[in-house]
Structure 1
Amino acid sequence: MTKPLILGLTGSIGMGKSTVAQMFVDLGIPMFDADAEVRRLQGPGGALLPDIEAAFPGSTGPDGVDRDALGTLVFNNPEKLAVLEGIVHPAVAKVRAEFMEAHRDAPMVLFDIPLLFEKGGFTAVDHIVVVSAPAETQRERVLARPDMTVEKFEKILGLQVPDAEKRERADTVIDTGQSLEATRAEVEALVARLSAN
């Protein structure tokens, strides 16, 4: 029995990853969204709240994790960040294993992993898909977000593997600097090509 082909989807902030992920879902590809799972596990009643509160007192409440409070505690503190990751990553890995079991008969699945290269997740996928757009397009998209500043954007970019390096390491690059229809056509062509193999 062959396991599903695992596509790893990634891209820097503002590159249109969520839009492209939905295009795969629209084609019937089951998707595991790592960020969505973290939000669920840390949201109201989330399974990780007791452990996070024990490690970081005052960082959770009725609405789940207070992202600002927790972020302030771990953002510039590698030791505390490692503690948080030690709580979150095993829980996400368990949910991902359950997802793979549930979709073991699917020909293809998609892992939406924003920090695919930064956190080493690329070793767990069969085909790396990077979404990319021109730097000016990326900048316009991100700076149009509420509460985003140039300083914040540049700090985020500094933490991410540069787009050019992601493109080099990709098996496929999806261009999101073009029309949605053209991007969708690239996604459809990729799924057709990989399905034929």
Structure 2
Amino acid sequence: MTAPDRPFILGLTGSIAMGKSTVAAMFADCGVPVFDADAEVRAMQSPGGELLPAIEAAFPGSTGPDGLDRAMLGSIVFADKDALARLEAIVHPAVAKRREAFLADHSEAPIVLFDIPLLFEKTGEDTVDAVVVVSAPEDIQRKRALAREGMTAEKFEGILASQLPDAAKRARADHVIDTGTTLAETQKAVEDLVDKLSEDLRD
């Protein structure tokens, strides 16, 4: 149950190329405020972003006039767990602070959505009231991923290996949205879920 002084929090997650961003936009179209964790991080790492000084201190040369040099920093932390932990110690508290501000700004909304790519891997279900997982057949996922600019089969497999398998995510989900269908069908599934949750909250 949600606390009486805040909205019901849905956590949205899913593996790479499962259509999470598309589904998040569908929730927004239904009037559900969406907190996009990745977008917040990008904003804080852009030119003038609040995280740049701390990241530069921890990883000299990784920032500049254009903000964070993602390729350089990625090459450092991708294969170094200690370096990744140092980066996360900088980023995660800042994201949490923005998330709290988002909740305060939308305190009157019945439902809000937290778009969290690594919800199971990093954040944890205890930060939300229910979890929605977006999922599609493996062949569709692979096709979508490899169509992305800069994506290779090797990189795709590496990302998959770092994420909880799709089947495990679906098993732990409270709700699953199938994105292997048409956009209209996926939109209908999102609308039906928002209607059901809204009705449940009114009871």
TM-score interval w.r.t. the shorter chain?
Answer: over 0.9
Give 1:98's aligned residue. Answer: 101
CA distance in 2, matches of 1:31, 1:49: 25
- Is 1:35 paired with 2:38? yes
Question: Is 1:166 aligned to 2:169, yes or no?
Answer: yes
Q: Equivalent of 1:130, from 133, 139, 150?
A: 133
Percent of pairs with identical residues = 65
1:26 maps to which residue? Answer: 29
Question: Which string of whole-angstrom CA distances, capped at 9 and with x for unpartnered residues, describes residues 32-68 of structure 1?
Answer: 0000000000111100101110110000011111001
Give, in whole Å, the separation in 2 of the partners of 1:120 and 1:14.
20
Q: Does 1:76 align with 2:90?
A: no
Q: Which residue of 2 aligns with 1:64?
A: 67
TM-score of the two chains, using structure 1 as the length reference:
0.98
Q: Which runs of 4+ in 1 moved over 6 A?
A: none
Query: Which residue identity lines up with residue 34 of structure 1 in the other structure?
Result: A
Counterparts of 1:107 and 1:46, CA distance in 2: 31
Q: Give the superposition deviation at 1:121.
A: 3.0
Which residue of 2 is the match for residue 6 of structure 1? Answer: 9
Out of 113, 116, 120, which is 1:117 matched to? 120
**CA deviation after TM superposition for structure 1 residue 138, in Å:** 0.3
Matched, 1:157 2:160: yes
Number of residue pairs aligned between Structure 1 and Structure 2: 197
Please give the alpha-carbon distance, in whole angstroms, between the structure 2 residues aligned to 1:62 and 1:123.
Answer: 38
Distance (Å, rounded) in 1 between the aligned partners of 2:191 and 2:72: 41
Using the TM superposition, give the Cα deviation of residue 2 of structure 1 relative to its aligned residue in structure 2, in angstroms: 4.1
Q: Which amino acid aligns with 1:102?
A: D
2:60 match: secondary structure: coil
TM-score by length of 2: 0.95
Aligned alpha-carbon RMSD (Å): 0.8
Counterparts of 1:95 and 1:67, CA distance in 2: 21
Q: Which runs of 5+ in 2 are unaligned?
A: none
Give 1:50's match in structure 2, choosing from 24, 48, 53: 53
- Report the AA paired with residue 10 of structure 1: T
Which AA in structure 2 matches 1:33? D
Cα deviation, residue 120, structure 1: 3.1
